Amino acid sequence: MTDPVPWLDARERAAWLRLAAMVELLPGTLSHQLEHDADLSHFEYYVLAMLSEARDRTLAMSTLAQRTNATLPRLSHVVRRLENRGLIERSRCPSDGRVTMARLTGAGWDLVVDTAPGHVRHVRSLILDALTAEQVDQLHDITTAILDRIDPRGCMVDFYAEPTETTREAETA
């Protein structure tokens, strides 16, 4: 015998459908701005941003895949495109030749630094400016509760505990 389905009530269904719509619409909206400003998709910018926040602006491809929630084939394809633009370099890990490292180049760093202000303004205008300070705190709590279930190991967020070089530089600009 199977357990009965706990169908969504009207309030839950409305909340779920709005969350689903936001999850579907947000990446395209972010990509549009980034394509206009930097000829980058949102995912390409995210890859560059993850490298910009890493020690020595370098990560193992497997770690970069975790932080961007990408399969290695998808990430490899995107990194190849960014490499062709001179924004990323790949090399073998000196301590383990089986591991491929991705490093943000100077040109990649410059692009992230130049693009970040417009991206932050766009994120602020789409999301944060629509909320009160209390709602921002609630959004943090809500997303944390959901992420604890869908990313229990914290692969995509746990490394954000400390301010990074990028955020420190942006805060002092």
Domains detected in the chain: 27-172 (1.10.10.10)
The pTM (predicted TM-score) of the whole model is: 0.83
* Segment 72-99, tens digit of pLDDT: 999 999 999 999 999 999 999 988 889 9
Confidence tier at 17 by pLDDT (50, 70, 90): very high
- Interval 51-58 mean pLDDT: 96
* Segment 38-50, tens digit of pLDDT: 999 999 999 999 9
What order of strands is seen across the sheet that includes strand 58-60? 58-60, 100-104, 88-92
**CA–CA dist 137, 129 (Å, integer):** 13
Identify the CA nearest to 126 among candidates 10, 29, 2: 29
Confidence tier at 167 by pLDDT (50, 70, 90): very low
AA letter at 112: V
pLDDT(168) > 80: no
Which three-class secondary structure string do you get for 34-81? HHHHHCCCHHHHHHHHHHHCCHHHEEEHHHHHHHHCCCHHHHHHHHHH
